[in-house]
Amino acid sequence: MKNVQTYNRTLRFLSTTIVLALLLFINNWSTTAATISLDITNPVCVQARSDTGTCYIKAFDISANGSGGSFSQLSVYVNGKLRLNMQGFFESSAYLNADMIGTGLAVACGMPNASGDPAFGNIYTLSVTASMTDGANTWGSAQVRCPYYDGKVFLPNVRR
Amino acid sequence: MKERIVLLSVLILLLAGLFILSSRPVTAQDDQPPTPSAPIETMGENTRELESISPNALVGFIGTSNPYCYQPDPARDECYINIRYMQATDNGTTSPYLYTLEVRLDGKLRYQSSVFFENSIYYNYDMIPDGLKVTCGSPNQGGAGVDFGKVYSLAIQAKSGDGTNMGGNYAGVRCPAYVP
């Protein structure tokens, strides 16, 4: 009788262990989805020449890091308009620094107080999205204030 | 009874082994190109290939990072394609030897670099200051969605002195759309 009880107890213990091991295995198998993080450093707007109404938006750097080797794309939008698309090529991350886009993304500086602040011209929304091939994605957004353009034109001082 | 217990113990050990294997932490090696055992790999619209296995060819796939396309001025149908970096390396011991690295956009040669008594070729984005100029294209022209215009086929190929292809990377690069 005692032997039968011990046998049953051992059997129950072993069955429970097997079920738990199976559950852990299945759970671990299904939680390998990729993750992704995004970092935007120092978005800027610069009016390189004060005699024009063209300003340039860029960031010191923008980076996205994924957990696997299947990075898909990083997209940069200014006021909702796609301006840059960077893709992964069998890699896990994307990195964009200010030098990689020449002078930057051209925008209109705007007149003084164009956005409600007399010290600035237009304000733009710089948005960045990044995604992995399995659909994991992230995004970030920043308001960028541009110097104003007061319409002054500097004519060269030329003598006849 | 003993036999059953032994059988169940073996089963538990097998399951435990499977569990340990599946929970193995991902290491940096997992991201490395599995050269030279897999000379062709495809992921989405990206493909990379080696024509032969080292030491008869390159030591691995041509390293390529982050091809990109940007539109500096939204009022113009002008975009620029560039690549953060790329590198091709030959071990230099067995022919054919690496001689040139070529970049083509939609089949048109746009960049080539050669070796000079060396075994590798390296490119950095600032070697073409603004990038390779292309037209952006109208919304969804390349079928990638309304935010995108044209989709360009980018081919990066390493070749030997007699023009033999030693390896290549191929990708579709999506440009922002030009919206007049």
Which of B11, B70, B86 should we substitute to test contact with A (largest number of A Cβ atoms within 10 Å)? B70
A24 touches chain B (CB under 8 A): yes
- The answer to whether the CB atoms of A82 and B176 lie below 8 A apart is yes
| C-alpha–C-alpha distance, residues B162 and B99, integer Å | 9
What confidence score (pLDDT) does residue B55 get?
Answer: 72
Nearest to B102 by CA among B28, B4, B41, B170: B170
A94 touches chain B (CB under 8 A): yes
pLDDT greater at residue A2 or residue B177: B177
Is residue B171 within 8 Å of residue B44, measured between CB atoms?
A: no
Is residue B173 within 8 Å of residue B151, measured between CB atoms?
A: yes
- The answer to whether the CB atoms of A102 and B130 lie below 8 A apart is yes
Strand order in the sheet with B165-176: B40-43, B46-50, B165-176, B148-160, B98-105, B108-114
What confidence score (pLDDT) does residue B167 get?
Answer: 93
Q: Which CATH architecture has domain B46-176?
A: Sandwich (2.60)
What confidence score (pLDDT) does residue A157 get?
Answer: 73
Interface predicted TM-score (ipTM): 0.76
Which of B2, B9, B19 should we substitute to test contact with A (largest number of A Cβ atoms within 10 Å)? B19
Using CB atoms within 10 A of its CB, is residue B138 exposed (0-12), middle (13-18) or buried (19+)? middle
B161/chain A closest Cα distance in angstroms: 27
Nearest chain A Cα to B148, which residue?
A82
What confidence score (pLDDT) does residue B44 get?
Answer: 87
Give the CA distances from residue B149 to residues A46, A128, B23, in Å, rounded to whole numbers and listed in that order.
27, 18, 43
pLDDT exceeds 70 at position A89: yes
Q: A40-79: per-residue pLDDT in tens?
A: 999 999 999 989 999 999 999 999 999 876 899 999 999 9
Give the CA distances from residue B58 to residues A89, A119, B120, in Å, rounded to whole numbers and listed in that order.
18, 57, 9
Output the tens digit of pLDDT for each of chain B's 180 residues: 566 666 656 656 655 555 554 444 444 444 554 444 548 999 988 999 998 777 777 889 999 999 999 999 999 999 999 999 999 999 888 888 999 999 999 999 999 999 999 999 999 999 999 999 999 999 999 999 999 999 999 999 999 999 989 999 999 999 999 999
**The token pair that represents A146 in the structure block:** 């541009």
Contact list in A for residue B73 (CB cut-off 8 A) is 106
- The answer to whether the CB atoms of A95 and B66 lie below 8 A apart is yes
Given B33, B43, B130, which is nearest A133 (Cβ)?
B43
Give the CA distances from residue B164 to residues A4, B51, B92, B133, B157, in Å, rounded to whole numbers and listed in that order.
76, 9, 16, 28, 10
Q: Report the half-sphere exposure of B23 (CA within 13 A, side-chain side).
A: 12
Contact list in A for residue B41 (CB cut-off 8 A) is 90
A157 touches chain B (CB under 8 A): no
Contact list in B for residue A11 (CB cut-off 8 A) is 4, 8
What confidence score (pLDDT) does residue B95 get?
Answer: 86
Give me the amino acid identity at A76: V
A85 touches chain B (CB under 8 A): yes
- The answer to whether the CB atoms of B23 and A67 lie below 8 A apart is no
B28 touches chain A (CB under 8 A): no
pLDDT exceeds 60 at position A124: yes
Give the CA distances from residue B76 to residues A117, B176, B180, in Å, rounded to whole numbers and listed in that order.
29, 11, 8
- The answer to whether the CB atoms of A94 and B66 lie below 8 A apart is yes
Report residue A18: phi and psi, to 5°: -60, -45
pLDDT exceeds 80 at position A152: no
A35 touches chain B (CB under 8 A): no
What confidence score (pLDDT) does residue B91 get?
Answer: 86
Report residue B32: phi and psi, to 5°: -75, 145
